[in-house]
Amino acid sequence: MSPLVRAFKDALSTTDPRARTTFDAADLARLLDALYARGKAAHPKLRVSEEAFGRCVARCADGESIAALGAGEPPAPALANLVVDEQGFGRLPEADFTAHFAADVDPGTARVMHAAQQPVAMSVFDDVMGRPAWRSLPSWYLVAAEDEAIAPDDERLFARRMGAETVEVASSHVAMVSHPQVVVDLIEAAASRVAGTTVAAGTPT
pLDDT tens digit sequence for 150-176: 999 989 998 998 899 999 999 999 999
Q: The domain containing residue 180 runs over which residues?
A: 44-195
Per the structure, the count of domains in the chain is 1
> Does the pLDDT of residue 96 top 90, yes or no?
yes
* Range 104-108 contact pairs with CB under 8 angstroms and sequence separation of 24 or more: 104/146, 104/170, 104/171, 104/172, 104/178, 105/172, 105/174, 105/177, 105/178
Within-domain flag for 29: no
> pTM, whole model, 2 decimals?
0.70
What CATH number does the domain containing 162 carry?
3.40.50.1820
